[in-house]
């Protein structure tokens, strides 16, 4: 049994082999993944699509530009090689010493103008580009830290949200927090922290650093789970729009939240890392397979599919803590009749009623056993006497054996309402829609 | 022995050379296998391949000693000159030069102290030396831990390769059936190239996810 489960999970996880074969190698009707490696080109594409990107201050394309450049740099900036991978060669500067050509790097180390020039020169020489070809260096605006993330972020660093999008559908997301070790960069393999995010609510779940689960921000008691990402729906929408604009089917989109501007797209990545599965404690390949071949017309549809299909982890967690199931106002139930038949009904959950009540015709048809007891109920129609029946039904996988009163419900929409007496195993969330209702709408 | 091979041997190509040449694709396959199935990263095919041949040239013991000495020296020197602002390629060249001098002095010192420690063949050592440039570049771009992992993975791969290349019956078989041998190597690589499963290293990395109970 456990071996069987192991094999089933084995197929659900996305490894590097499957990622490269199925999601990175160029497919038909898709631009080359090389586009994603050219940061300036991606910025241009995104800007054209009306999406927010950090402002580019200066671009240094060659030695000639280098010689001519004034080096009149702002207080804070990010220096990037155009074609590096995995955050290599990215320099984040968040402050400047007064009256001196000395800046402060994320990680609180000082850096002189000579160091910066040297770094730019190394970029031009192609020392950070994967093929060691000559590269372009550019300075861009450093995103202003959003107050929500301030306590969780190492000084000077900028956290970002990595959203994996497949054909307009966000698949999985994680918050990436820079640490001292990662020198302000948020890449996980450089020592950043990855925190899983529930796609439905935008609330963080579990966190990892160096592939191991961590509870708190290093050296603090700040808990990493339960952080609510601001403008979550907007983040998902921008991620899906960015994937659509770039055109590569499977894309990782890094979005930072600016204190003033809101979500800003940092970078896109055609070879997103697979550690996100650990941060979310959820396998990726299964999710990708579930949406494969879905023709999603709009980004709006794509993000709502993502939130409904892949979201709800926080809800499950709530269930785990309370030991109770979360249900909505309308839920499908299954009635078990005395002669072992099953009847499927839509039920309305009504915390205003104590007893469950069922339509008398259905009770009769199901041959529910009558109890020798009649209760008097007062309603808008005056006092009535209602016969009681024995009732056995399942709701959200829970079996409930109870008694219900029978009434004529032919004039109302739902044939059964479930009352407080039978709701002890549940928590009611009025916003939750059951799966059946989702399919109908 | 295949007629083609015996013809080549009569033309004056040494048998040993031929079997090494024919086994090279198998060695490359071993490296690909270790990468795709086991998950050992060792700087591509080229690096462990050359390292294996250096080991074959020097013998396993001397090969190991030379490799470790060079790696330690090169990394030490990289650390020492880290603070000096230098452009990348001249920095690498300086590291390789000082490592060479360091290696020669070490060999001299060992011999002077009475340990017989001549690393006779120059070419394999020069190969290892020039390979160290790749490692130093990893250390400059990434960090010490990644360098250490790569040093050890490359070492493990090369040692495995060394023993593979020394299997006597394999050396003979490859001369007997060179074409079918190459065909098999090709087939293995095509299946390796289409393998979508998790690597052994990923089984470890995702061990907790693999034990997740099924939902519903």
Q: A195-223 pLDDT, tens per residue?
A: 999 999 999 999 999 888 888 888 888 88
Query: Is A121 in Cβ contact with B141 (below 8 Å)?
Result: no
Given B199, B202, B210, which is nearest A6 (Cβ)? B210
Cβ <8 Å between B205 and A17? no
Per-residue pLDDT tens digits for A172-181: 999 999 888 7
Phi-psi region of A81 (alpha: psi -120 to 50; beta: other; left: phi over 0): beta
Q: What are phi and psi of B208, to 5 degrees?
A: -75, -35
pLDDT of residue A440: 44
Average pLDDT, chain A: 86
B142 contact residues in A (CB cutoff 8 A): 88
Contact A311, A201 (CB under 8 A): yes
CB contact (8 A) between residue B209 and residue A125: no
Contacts 24+ apart (CB under 8 A), A57-62: A57/A138, A57/A139, A57/A140, A57/A141, A58/A138, A58/A139, A59/A136, A59/A137, A59/A138, A59/A139, A60/A120, A60/A124, A60/A136, A60/A137, A60/A138, A61/A136, A62/A124, A62/A134, A62/A136
Torsion sign over Cα B150, B152, B155, B157: negative
Q: Which residue of B has its CA nearest to A280?
A: B209
Confidence at residue B157, expressed as pLDDT on a 0 to 100 scale? 94
DSSP conformational letter for A36: H
Find, in chain A, the residue whose alpha carbon is nearest to that of B36: A17
Angle ∠(A85,A88,A91) on CA atoms, nearest 5: 130
For residue A9, the distance in angstroms to the closest alpha carbon of chain B comes to 5
Q: What is the mean pLDDT of residues A164-168?
A: 94
Chain A interface, mutation test: which of B145, B198, B216, most A Cβ atoms within 10 Å? B198
Whether the per-residue pLDDT at A126 is higher than 50: the answer is yes
**CB contact (8 A) between residue B197 and residue A10:** yes
Neighboring chain A residues of B208 at a CB cutoff of 8 Å: 213, 278, 281
How many inter-chain contacts (A to B, CB under 8 Å) are there? 69
Please give the torsion angle defined by the CA atoms of residues A12, A18, A21 and A23, in that order, rounded to the nearest 10 degrees: 50
All residues at 6 or more sequence positions from A376 whose CB lies less than 8 Å from its CB, including other chains: A383, A384, A385, A386
Tell me the H-state helices in A310-356.
313-322
Give the whole-angstrom CA distance, residue A403 versus residue A400.
10
In angstroms, the separation between the Cα of residue A194 and the nearest Cα of chain B is: 15
Query: Do residues A270 and A248 lie in contact, with contact meaning Cβ atoms separated by under 8 Å?
Result: yes
Cβ of B209 within 8 Å of Cβ of A9? The answer is yes
- Whole-angstrom Cα distance, residue A16 to residue A32? 19
- Would you state the pLDDT for residue A237? 95
Entry pTM: 0.74
| Chosen from A7, A87, A127 to mutate, greatest number of chain B CBs within 10 A | A127
User: In angstroms, what separates the C-alpha of B184 from chain A's closest C-alpha?
Assistant: 22
Residues of B with CB under 8 A from a CB of A: 36, 39, 85, 87-89, 141-142, 194-199, 202, 205-206, 208-214, 216
| Pairwise CA distance, residues A291 & A301, whole Å | 13
Give the residue on A whose Cα is nearest the Cα of B205.
A211
Between vectors from CA B147 to CA A21 and to CA B205, what angle results, nearest 5°? Answer: 45
Q: Work out the minimum CA distance from B133 to partner chain A, whole angstroms.
A: 13
pLDDT of residue A26: 65
Residue-wise pLDDT tens digits, A36-66: 889 999 999 999 999 999 999 999 999 899 9
- How many CB atoms sit inside 10 A of residue A64's CB? 9
How many Å lie between the alpha carbon of A10 and the closest alpha carbon of chain B?
6
- Inter-CA distances, A305 with A137, A202, B215, Å: 39, 15, 19
A9 touches chain B (CB under 8 A): yes
Residue A129's alpha-carbon distances to A86, A119, A330, B140, B145, in angstroms, are 11, 13, 56, 14, 21
Label residues B143-165 b or e (16+ Cβ within 10 Å = b). Answer: eeeebeebbebbbebbbbbbeeb
Nearest to B85 among A6, A118, A213 (CB): A118
**Residues on chain A touching B210 (C-beta within 8 angstroms):** 6, 9-10, 13
Each domain of chain A, given as residue ranges in start order, spans 1-53+143-323, 55-142, 324-440
Tell me, yes or no, if A398 comes closer than 8 A to chain B by beta carbon: no
Reported as a single tens digit per residue, the pLDDT across A356-376 is 999 988 888 888 888 877 777
What is the phi/psi pair of residue A335, to 5°?
Answer: -95, 135
The number of beta carbons lying within 10 Å of the beta carbon of residue B9 is 15
What CA–CA distances, in Å, run from B151 to B64, B76, B186? Answer: 12, 14, 29
Closest chain B C-alpha to A388 CA, distance in angstroms: 33
Contact list, B196 vs chain A (CB under 8 Å): 15, 17-18, 21-22
Does A334 or A33 have the greater pLDDT score?
A334
Question: Any chain B CB within 8 A of the CB of A211?
Answer: yes
CATH number for the domain formed by residue range(s) A55-142? 3.30.1490
Separation in Å, CA of A371 to nearest CA in chain B: 35
Q: How far apart are CA A275 and CA B55, in angstroms?
A: 36
What is the per-residue DSSP string for A235-263? Answer: HHHHHHHHHHHH--SEEEEEEEEETTTEE
Which residue(s) pair with A404 in the sheet? A356, A389
Q: What is the pLDDT of residues A299-327, one digit of tens each?
A: 999 999 898 888 876 666 666 666 678 88
Picking from B50-64, B124-138, B196-210, which range would have the lowest pLDDT averaged per residue? B124-138
Mean pLDDT of A129-135: 82
Backbone torsions φ then ψ of A330, nearest 5 degrees: -115, 125
The candidate with the shortest Cα–Cα distance to A84, out of A20, A133, A51, is: A133
How much is the ipTM here? 0.80
Torsion of CA B40, B44, B45, B48, to 10 degrees: -70
Question: Distance between CA atoms of A312 and A201, rounded to whole angstroms?
Answer: 7
| Interface mutation target, options B136, B189, B212, B213, chain A, most CBs of A under 10 Å | B212
CATH 3.30.470.20: does it fit domain A1-53+143-323? Answer: yes
B36 → closest Cβ in A8, A17, A22: A17
**pLDDT, tens digit, 9 for 90 and up, residues B197-215:** 999 999 999 998 898 887 6
Q: Which CATH architecture has domain A324-440?
A: Beta Barrel (2.40)
Between A79-83, A147-151, A217-221, A287-291, the lowest mean confidence (pLDDT) is in A217-221
The CA distance from B149 to the nearest CA of chain A, in Å, is 14
CA pair distance A36, A32, nearest whole angstrom: 8
What pairing do the DSSP bridges indicate for beta strands A110-112 and A137-140?
unpaired
Q: Which of B39, B88, B195 sits opposite A127 (nearest CB)?
A: B88
């Amino acid at each position: 049994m456990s071996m069987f489960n192991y094999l089933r999970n084995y197929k659900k996880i996305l490894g590097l082999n499957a990622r490269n074969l199925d999601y990175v190698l160029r497919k038909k009707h898709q631009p080359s993944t090389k586009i994603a490696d050219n940061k300036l080109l991606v910025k241009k594409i995104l800007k054209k699509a009306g999406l927010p990107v950090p402002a580019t201050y200066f671009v240094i394309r060659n030695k000639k530009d280098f010689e001519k450049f004034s080096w009149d740099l702002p207080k804070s900036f990010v220096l990037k090689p155009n074609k590096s991978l995995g955050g290599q060669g990215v320099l984040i500067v968040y402050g400047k010493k007064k009256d001196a050509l000395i800046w402060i790097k994320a990680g609180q180390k000082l850096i002189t103008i000579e160091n910066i020039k040297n770094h730019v020169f190394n970029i031009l020489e192609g020392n950070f580009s994967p093929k060691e070809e000559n590269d372009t260096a550019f300075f861009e605006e450093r995103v202003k830290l959003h107050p929500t993330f301030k306590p969780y972020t190492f000084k000077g660093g900028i956290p970002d949200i990595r959203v994996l999008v497949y054909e307009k559908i966000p698949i999985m997301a994680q918050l990436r927090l820079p640490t001292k070790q990662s020198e302000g960069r948020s890449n996980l393999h450089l020592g950043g922290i990855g925190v899983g995010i529930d796609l439905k609510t935008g609330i963080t779940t579990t966190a990892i650093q160096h592939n191991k689960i961590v509870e708190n921000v290093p050296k603090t008691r700040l808990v990493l789970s339960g952080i609510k990402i601001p403008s979550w729906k907007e983040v998902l929408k921008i991620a899906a729009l960015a994937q659509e604009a770039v055109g590569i089917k499977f894309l990782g989109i890094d979005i930072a939240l600016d204190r003033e501007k809101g979500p800003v797209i940092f970078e896109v990545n055609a070879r997103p890392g697979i550690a996100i599965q650990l941060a979310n404690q959820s396998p990726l390949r299964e999710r990708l397979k579930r949406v494969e071949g879905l023709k999603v017309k709009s980004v709006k549809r794509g993000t709502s599919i993502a939130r409904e299909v892949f979201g709800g982890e926080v809800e499950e967690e709530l269930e785990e803590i309370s030991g109770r199931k979360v249900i909505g106002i309308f839920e499908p139930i299954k009635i078990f009749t005395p002669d072992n038949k099953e009847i499927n009904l839509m039920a309305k959950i009504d915390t205003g009623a104590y007893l469950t009540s069922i339509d008398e015709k259905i009770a009769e048809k199901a041959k529910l056993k009558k109890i020798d007891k009649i209760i008097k109920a007062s309603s808008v129609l005056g006092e009535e006497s209602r016969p009681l029946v024995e009732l056995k039904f399942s709701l959200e996988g829970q079996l409930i054996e109870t008694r219900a009163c029978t009434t004529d419900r032919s004039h109302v929409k739902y044939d059964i309402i479930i009352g407080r007496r039978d709701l002890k195993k549940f928590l009611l969330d009025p916003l939750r829609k059951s799966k059946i209702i989702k399919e109908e709408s | 022995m295949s007629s083609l091979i015996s013809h080549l041997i009569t033309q004056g190509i040494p048998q040993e050379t031929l079997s090494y040449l024919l086994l090279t694709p198998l060695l490359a396959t071993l490296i690909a296998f270790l990468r795709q199935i086991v998950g050992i990263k060792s700087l591509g095919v080229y690096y462990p391949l050359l390292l294996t041949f250096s080991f074959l040239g020097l013998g396993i013991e001397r090969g190991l000693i030379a490799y470790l000495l060079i790696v330690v020296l090169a990394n030490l020197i990289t650390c020492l000159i880290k603070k000096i602002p230098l452009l990348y390629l001249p920095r690498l060249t300086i590291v390789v030069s000082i490592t060479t001098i360091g290696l020669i002095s070490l060999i001299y010192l060992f011999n002077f102290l009475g340990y017989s420690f001549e690393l006779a063949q120059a070419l394999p050592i020069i190969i290892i030396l020039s390979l160290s440039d790749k490692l130093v570049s990893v250390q400059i771009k990434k960090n010490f831990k990644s360098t250490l992992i790569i040093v050890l993975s490359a070492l493990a791969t090369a040692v495995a390769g060394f023993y593979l290349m020394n299997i006597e019956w394999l050396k003979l078989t490859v001369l007997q059936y060179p074409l079918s041998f190459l065909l098999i190597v090709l087939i293995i690589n095509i299946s390796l190239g289409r393998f979508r499963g998790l690597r052994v290293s990923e089984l470890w990395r995702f061990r907790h996810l693999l034990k997740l109970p099924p939902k519903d």
